[in-house]
Amino acid sequence: MKKIEIMDTTLRDGEQTNGVSFVPHEKLSIARMLLHELHVDRIEVASARVSDGEKDAVTAICRWARQAGMLERVEVLGFVDGTTSIDWINDCGCKTLNLLCKGSERHLKYQLKQTLQEHVAAIKQSLDYATSLGINVNLYLEDWSNGMKDSPNYVYDFVSALKDFNVQRFMLPDTLGILTPVEVSRFMTQMKEWFPTLRFDYAFTPV
């Protein structure tokens, strides 16, 4: 029987909810409950570079997780910003980076204002640097759902350019919640047909 793996984002994405803000000891308590009591497979606990308080929280979570033998289950969202996010995550003692990349041609052109080649080159530099510090990297393809609807060739070219690098997972989010269940099934099947040896996560926000 296939196992369903759950990565909980309460402490990162959930904290973006209006009026929700956790102090460091609250984050640590929630992280311990998710991993130790609820047995969630993985948790994404923060975005890099947010604040000193956030850094204190991530450091405390990673310290506890290391002692509990669960450090590999703690992840932090980071950005393609040279070494800045990676250094922040490394300083906290975290060993898994979810690197936010552009999963649609629209985001690449109008937000990043780069070519695919420029974006991929910057990602490869981040991958090399993270690997040198012993940090595992998942690639988070922001706006992947729109990418599959509007620019599937871009998605294919993006993943093809990075599939042979040291990427643990390609994370495929429905960032804006635009896909129907049928579309999710079709697009995930398509990704597996294109890249049968790669590991994919599907990410969604429940309502």
Instruction: For the chain, give every domain's residue range.
Output: 1-91, 95-207
Mean of all residue pLDDT scores within the chain: 93
142 in active site: yes
> Which one-letter amino acid corresponds to residue 41?
D
Confidence of residue 51 (pLDDT cuts 50, 70, 90): confident
Residues sharing a CB contact under 8 Å with residue 49, sequence separation 6 or more, in sequence order: 79, 81, 84, 85, 88
State residue 91's pLDDT score: 97
Confidence of residue 203 (pLDDT cuts 50, 70, 90): confident
Residues sharing a CB contact under 8 Å with residue 53, sequence separation 6 or more, in sequence order: 23, 24
State residue 47's pLDDT score: 93
Cβ count near 30 (within 10 Å):
19
Confidence of residue 156 (pLDDT cuts 50, 70, 90): very high
Residues sharing a CB contact under 8 Å with residue 32, sequence separation 6 or more, in sequence order: 64
Report how far residue 87's alpha carbon sits from residue 94's, in angstroms, rounded to the nearest whole number: 10
**182 pLDDT above the threshold of 60:** yes
Residue that the structure tokens 């909810």 belong to = 17
State residue 200's pLDDT score: 96
Is pLDDT larger for residue 84 or for residue 204? 84
Predicted TM-score of the model (pTM):
0.92
Point out the catalytic residue in the list 75, 142, 183, 199: 142
Cβ count near 119 (within 10 Å):
18
State residue 17's pLDDT score: 55
Residues sharing a CB contact under 8 Å with residue 128, sequence separation 6 or more, in sequence order: none
Is pLDDT larger for residue 126 or for residue 203? 126
Report how far residue 70's alpha carbon sits from residue 62's, in angstroms, rounded to the nearest whole number: 9
* Mean pLDDT of all residues in 98-118: 96
**193 pLDDT above the threshold of 60:** yes
State residue 104's pLDDT score: 97
Is pLDDT larger for residue 40 or for residue 15? 40
**185 pLDDT above the threshold of 90:** yes
CATH architecture of 95-207: Alpha-Beta Barrel (3.20)
75 in active site: no
Query: Could you tell me the two tokens for 88?
Result: 């922040």
